[in-house]
Structure formats: structure tokens, C-alpha cells
């Protein structure tokens, strides 16, 4: 039977590319999304991949979402924690809500989803969890204490859960994307983005499909010996 995957934030940007790459591997994909119903419906029409709405920052909603996908598509073998938001600003301008939103959604979402899906993976002795971190969690970024902290947390979370999953056949890895050509990066002021791109040795933004390819590898049968690792895909911007 085909493996079943949930990709959070799976209907847009990097998540959309991941959903498609897993579908190409023969995986049955459920693409989670938070709010943009119109884009999610268009995604389903375009790809044939079912979309499911819940907030990954909500612990109970994740438990219910995972149970619903399992009931409709089958037990969950693969979770890709891709959902994330930015609320950029220097610490002088960052209020408590900007901090809490990013930690709750980006980092809390990984815990909430893994907490819901891990027991089934343990029972079936097979699982793949891939967490989307960031170059900015590795290197820091001016104006992103919230996002850098959450993404850095994701890298620690990955290494800890990898140790717990290993004896059950559950691998846990992270990908650290650099600046990828998505709506999130397009929201960075143009003059700031130009300066960032000038520091990327490859000389361009990355494509969502270039991240998805890495996720597909980490989710494959052949990647069973890869766990606790971070794959940096950033055009050489940060060699870590
Ligand atoms: N290092 C040092 N100083 C910097 C700096 C930097 N990287 N960037 C800006 N500054 C300085 C400016 O020169 C300016 O100094 P002066 O006041 O002396 O002129 C001061 O800091 C204030 O800068 P801004 O005018 O830019 O401040 P702002 O409040 O208008 O904006 C900001 C701040 C929102 C952080 C804006 O600079 C910004 O959007 N930066 C980009 C942040 C970023 O890269 N976000 C990534 C989003 S995509 C993503 O996160 C995906 C992923 O995983 C990679």
C-alpha cells in the first residue's frame, strides 16, 4: 500500500513543491493549510492532492487533523513540518504577539504534529519526519530574533527526536533552506533582498523544487540510515 504523508503548509510555496514531489514518488499526500481556502482549492484542482485545514500552532487541532487524515487516507508514515510564518522587525519594534506567533506556529507546530503522528510510526516501525528549518536558524538574521530562534529550535528538536525515533525505524531530519523564490521571500523589501542575493555565491534565489528534491530523498526507503542530519540547500550562502 502507498505510504501516506502530511505536508504542513503544503498548498503553497515550498510546501506545494514538496507535496508534488512526494506524490511523484507514489506517496498519498494530504496537504495541510491554515487559512487561504481559495489557494488551497485551486491547488487541489490543479494537483488532485487533498487539502486539509487546521492551525499547526494548535495542539488539539493537530491531533484531530492527523486522526482525520488517517481515517480518510490511511495511517501516517511521513510528516513534513513545513508550515511557517515570518513577523520580521528589530527587537525594538517586535511586540510580544510577533514573538509568540512565530514560536507557536513554526516551532510549536513541529512538536504538535510529531506528537500526534509519532506513536503510529513507532507501532508500525517505520516513519519519516522532515522539519523545514532555515539558514536564518543557523546563522541568525537581522530583524528576525523570533524566526531565527524558532528555526534554530527546529534544528535542536530534530536531533533530539532523531535519537528517540532511531530504534523504531523512524528517521527525523531537517532541511535548512536559504532564500527561496516564494511569497515569503518576496515580502522582504526589494533593496534588502538585493543585498541578500548579492551574498549568495550561486548568484540567485533557490527554487521551491530544489528544496522538495531534498525532502523526497529524506522520505525515501533508501534514506533509512540518514537521521538527525541537516541538509543545507542555500546556494552556498552559509556553509555549515
Ligand atoms: N546588519 C546590520 N545593520 C542592519 C542590517 C543588517 N543586516 N539591516 C539593516 N540594518 C540597519 C540599517 O542600516 C538601519 O541603520 P540606520 O538606522 O543607521 O540607517 C537600521 O538597521 C534599521 O534598518 P531598517 O531601516 O531596514 O529597519 P526597518 O525597521 O525598516 O526594517 C527589517 C527592519 C524589517 C528587519 C528589514 O530590514 C527586513 O525586512 N530585513 C530582512 C529580514 C529578512 O531577511 N527576512 C527573511 C524573510 S524570508 C525567510 O525568513 C525565509 C528563510 O527561511 C530564509
Distance 157 CA to ligand 1 centre (A): 27
C-alpha 182/C-alpha 235 separation (Å) is 15
**Ligand 1 atom 8: residue of nearest CA:** 142
Q: Is the pLDDT of residue 210 over 90?
A: yes
Q: Could you read off the pLDDT of 128-174 as tens digits, one per residue? A: 999 999 999 999 999 999 999 999 999 999 999 999 999 999 999 99
Q: What is the pTM of this model?
A: 0.96
Q: Is the pLDDT of residue 1 over 80?
A: no
User: Quick one: fold of 4-233?
Assistant: Rossmann fold (3.40.50)
pLDDT of residue 61: 98
Phi-psi region of 44 (alpha: psi -120 to 50; beta: other; left: phi over 0): alpha
- Kindly write down the DSSP assignment for every residue of 2-29, as one continuous string: --EEEETTTTSHHHHHHHHHHHHTT-EE
147 is annotated as an active-site residue: yes
pLDDT of residue 240: 73
C-alpha 90/C-alpha 143 separation (Å) is 4
Confidence of residue 21 (pLDDT cuts 50, 70, 90): very high
Q: Is the pLDDT of residue 93 over 80?
A: yes
Kindly state if the Cβ of 157 falls inside 6 Å of ligand 1: no
Catalytic: which of 33, 52, 147, 179? 147
Q: Which residue has the cell 487561504?
A: 36
Q: How many CB atoms neighbour CB 93 within 10 A?
A: 9
Confidence of residue 175 (pLDDT cuts 50, 70, 90): very high
Kindly state if the Cβ of 140 falls inside 6 Å of ligand 1: no
Residue ranges per domain, the chain?
4-233
Kindly state if the Cβ of 184 falls inside 6 Å of ligand 1: yes
Kindly state if the Cβ of 199 falls inside 6 Å of ligand 1: no
- Reduced to 3 states (helix: H, G, I; strand: E, B; else coil), residue 176 is strand
Amino acid at each position: 500500500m502507498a505510504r501516506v504523508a502530511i505536508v504542513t503548509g503544503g498548498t503553497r510555496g515550498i510546501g506545494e513543491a514538496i507535496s508534488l514531489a512526494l506524490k511523484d514518488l507514489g506517496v498519498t499526500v494530504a496537504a495541510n493549510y491554515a487559512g487561504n481556502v481559495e489557494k488551497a482549492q485551486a491547488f487541489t484542482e490543479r494537483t488532485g492532492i487533498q487539502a486539509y485545514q487546521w492551525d499547526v500552532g494548535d495542539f488539539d487541532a493537530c491531533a484531530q487533523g492527523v486522526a482525520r487524515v488517517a481515517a480518510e487516507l490511511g495511517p501516517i508514515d511521513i510528516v513534513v513540518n513545513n508550515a511557517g510564518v515570518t513577523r520580521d522587525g528589530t527587537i525594538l519594534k517586535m511586540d510580544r504577539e510577533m514573538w509568540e506567533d512565530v514560536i507557536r506556529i513554526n516551532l510549536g507546530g513541529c512538536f504538535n504534529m510529531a506528537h500526534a503522528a509519532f506513536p503510529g510510526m513507532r507501532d508500525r516501525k517505520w516513519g519519516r519526519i522532515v522539519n523545514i528549518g532555515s539558514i536564518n536558524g543557523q546563522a541568525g538574521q537581522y530583524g528576525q530574533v523570533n524566526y531565527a530562534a524558532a528555526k534554530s529550535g527546529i534544528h535542536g528538536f530534530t536531533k533530539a527526536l532523531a535519537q528517540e525515533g532511531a530504534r523504531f525505524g523512524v528517521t527525523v531530519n531537517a532541511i535548512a533552506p536559504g532564500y527561496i523564490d516564494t511569497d515569503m521571500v518576496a515580502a522582504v523589501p526589494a533593496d534588502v533582498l538585493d543585498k541578500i542575493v548579492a551574498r549568495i555565491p550561486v548568484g540567485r534565489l533557490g527554487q521551491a523544487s530544489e528544496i522538495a528534491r531534498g525532502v523526497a530523498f529524506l522520505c525515501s526507503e533508501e534514506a533509512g540510515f540518514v537521521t538527525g542530519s541537516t541538509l543545507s540547500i542555500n546556494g552556498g550562502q552559509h556553509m555549515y
